[in-house]
Amino acid sequence: MNNTPIFDKQHLLKLANTKMPFGKYKGYYLVNIPETYFVWFKSKGFPQNSIGNLLEEMYEIKLNGLEELIKPLIKK
């Protein structure tokens, strides 16, 4: 049995290339927003929509110090 995790490459690209649509960091790539902003969202509650899901995922990525794996996926 193969125990290799299945990753959705398109989802990772979407996560890397999504910009914040509102607030203090409007227009910033999610991966470039400071971790403290995601911690604040965690305490207040993430929006209950697709951007909220991406914010919550980015929180977990930043919490685990993995944002350097996402940054190279940004389309220049």
> Which pLDDT score is estimated for 54?
97
25 has pLDDT over 70: yes
Tell the residue number behind the tokens 């980015």, with chain if given: 58
Q: Give the mean model confidence (pLDDT) for residues 9-14.
A: 92
Q: Which amino acid is residue 76, in one-letter code?
A: K
Kindly list the domain boundaries of the chain, sorted by start residue: 9-73
> Which pLDDT score is estimated for 76?
79
Of 66, 42, 64, 65, the C-alpha closest to 52 is 42
User: Could you tell me the pLDDT band of residue 73, with boundaries at 50, 70 and 90?
Assistant: very high
51 has pLDDT over 90: yes
Q: How much is the mean pLDDT over the chain?
A: 92
Quote the tokens at residue 29.
């790539």
> Which pLDDT score is estimated for 16?
96
Specify whether the CB–CB gap between 54 and 48 falls below 8 A: no
